[in-house]
Amino acid sequence: MATDDILLPEFKALGEAPRDLAAIAAQETASILPHWNSTVAFQLGCALRTRLLPFPQPAVIHISTISTPPHVLFHAVTHAGTALDNDYWVARKRNAVIRWQCSTWALHNKFEGDEEKFKTKLGLGEKASEYAIHGGGVPIFVKGVEGPVAVVVVSGLKQWDDHQVVIEELAGVLGKLESK
């Protein structure tokens, strides 16, 4: 299968996303980057899109700074079939990562996927609709910087796969940066 301009890479299965909070936290801290800029964001975005192209489900890939409004550094889809709803999911996942400085998969597992428990425990009330605790939102950390500098969000696969693809490709980009 190919598009007009590229051949699809070979499918590479994703690892299983952990459900243990300590293991998820370890994933998040394992890929602290030596630096961050738009070039690194583009490399990560391209790596994610390339990895996701063989998957049959369409997905949205979004990378932006934590600022409000966000400075969008990369935004792409993998196939026809995404919808505006994907972008609403992106925004909600992004908001959760920025507020709690952890992945949305960590939040999902912390609250056992129970959105009502999440809403009540954190006293969010009607504001809960601004956040999503479904996997796919991952913070970008940089060595020597406190807190995340950016957020990567994938939306379109199963939530554990949305999370895991970001983790795996972020590790790959880190490896390339460290080998330079």
Question: DSSP labels for 60-95?
Answer: EEEEEESSSS--EEEEEESSTT--HHHHHHHHHHHH
Q: Is the pLDDT confidence value at 5 over 80?
A: no
Q: What is the pLDDT of residue 8?
A: 78
Distance CA 135, CA 152 (A): 11
Q: What is the pLDDT of residues 125-173, one digit of tens each?
A: 999 999 999 999 999 999 999 999 999 999 999 999 999 999 999 999 9
Q: What is the pLDDT of residues 76-86, one digit of tens each?
A: 999 999 999 99
DSSP H stretches of helix in 74-158? 84-100, 104-110, 115-121
Which residue type sits at 139?
A: P
* Domain edges within the chain: 21-178
Q: In a 3-state reduction of DSSP, which class is residue 3?
A: coil
**CATH of the domain spanning 21-178:** 3.30.450.150
Q: Is the pLDDT confidence value at 3 over 70?
A: no
Q: Is the pLDDT confidence value at 1 over 50?
A: no
Which residue type sits at 103?
A: S
CA angle 174, 175, 178 (to 5 degrees): 85
The answer to whether 51 and 168 have CB atoms below 8 angstroms apart is yes
